[in-house]
Structure 1
């Protein structure tokens, strides 16, 4: 039933101006519009995320959202150059020099945003096992 509809991510922010600086200056997002006290960012294939103010930001210990990307390691290098710090998790799988983990058909890397939310970059890697 719901598979026929677009799904959007919420990104919580304790300090909205700080979070906007992180996403716009470090991650390179462009706001589509400001609404309901927050800001909407659009992505490929009609997807989007709503960055909104809440005191609950950064409380989840799991990934908040992920980008389906190509060349995880290349993106890690570019984001690190902008000041994004990637997490170095001890997980099963092959670890790249850039700390991405390849396992289960995907290569993944995680970073925390300015609010403590865990975000991920995921690249499909056919035949990577896991």
Structure 2
């Protein structure tokens, strides 16, 4: 059976699972669906739900924050509202020099729509996008 028949979940390495819990659960409001070990660390991983199912595996690892690429994107209906909610919960919107951003840190996306980025405490980058 081809891989396209199976659900896909993004995985993100973090340096400190307890600090990550504060961010992913506290600031982003993601519900934890289950926790488990990460390699030799008991309780070192969490699976978070988003969009009605498991979506993000966060695990403690020495490889945390080693990529500058966007690791996952949430596709939203009202990007202004989501950015406002994130900022109100203490999340900083990242601004890149090569893009023009509005006052909230949102930029036009190639091909239409808008996008904004933010990072977790380890520097893992995430995006939110809207087709508005």
Normalising TM by the smaller chain, what interval?
0.7 to 0.9
**Where does structure 1 lack aligned partners over 5 or more consecutive residues?**
126-130
Deviation at residue 91 of structure 1 after TM alignment: 3.8
| CA–CA separation in structure 2 for the residues paired with 1:68 and 1:95 | 18
> 1:99 is matched with which residue?
105
1:69 aligned residue (66, 70, 76): 76
For 1:49, the equivalent position in structure 2 comes to 56
RMSD: 1.6
Taking structure 1 as the reference length, the TM-score comes to 0.86
Counterparts of 1:58 and 1:67 in 2: how far apart (Å)? 19
Aligned residues: 124
More strand by share: 2
Residue 88 (structure 1) aligned with residue 101 (structure 2): no
Deviation at 1:2, TM superposition (A): 2.3
Structure 2 residue runs without a partner (length 5+): 38-43
Matches of 1:113 and 1:50, distance apart in 2: 14
Partner residue in 1 for 2:127: 120
Q: Which consecutive aligned stretches of 4+ in structure 1 deviate over 6 angstroms post-superposition?
A: none
Partner of 1:7 in structure 2? 8
The question of whether the paired residues in 2 share the 8 Å contact of 1:91 and 1:101 is answered with: no
- The answer for the alignment partner of 2:41 in structure 1 is none
Q: TM-score, normalised by structure 2?
A: 0.85
1:95: Cα distance to partner?
3.4
